[in-house]
């Protein structure tokens, strides 16, 4: 792979929404160490890892929630480069 091809390779990431239902619904967010901002749990895929498996892994790693459901339909988001 050439240097220019490496520079253009997409960075694949996945995440999820952790929702507590009830009279006061809540969404889990995590705080980034580097800039102290609050975000939804997410992270980069391991080589060869499926996006849904990565999303589940990242949510468990970042929130500690083990009981996960896939009730929300899967969707993909593509964004521009930084």
Structural domain contains residue 4 = no
User: Domain range for residue 39?
Assistant: 12-63
Structural domain contains residue 1 = no
Structural domain contains residue 5 = no
Q: Could you tell me the pTM of the whole model? A: 0.69
39, 58 in Cβ contact below 8 A? no
Residue 80 vs residue 33, higher pLDDT: 33
Q: What is the pLDDT, as a whole number, of residue 47?
A: 93
Task: Give the start-end residues of each E strand in the chain.
Answer: 13-15, 19-20, 26-27, 30-31, 38-39, 42-44
* Per-residue pLDDT at 81 exceeds 60: no
Number of domains forming the structure of the chain: 1
């Amino acid at each position: 792979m050439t240097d220019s091809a490496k520079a253009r390779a997409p960075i694949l990431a996945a995440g999820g929404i952790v929702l507590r239902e009830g009279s006061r619904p809540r969404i889990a967010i995590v705080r980034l160490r580097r800039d102290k901002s609050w975000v939804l749990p997410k992270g980069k895929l391991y080589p060869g890892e499926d996006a849904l498996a990565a999303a589940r892994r990242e949510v468990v790693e970042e929130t500690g929630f083990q009981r996960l459901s896939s009730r929300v339909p899967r969707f993909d988001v593509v964004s521009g480069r930084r």
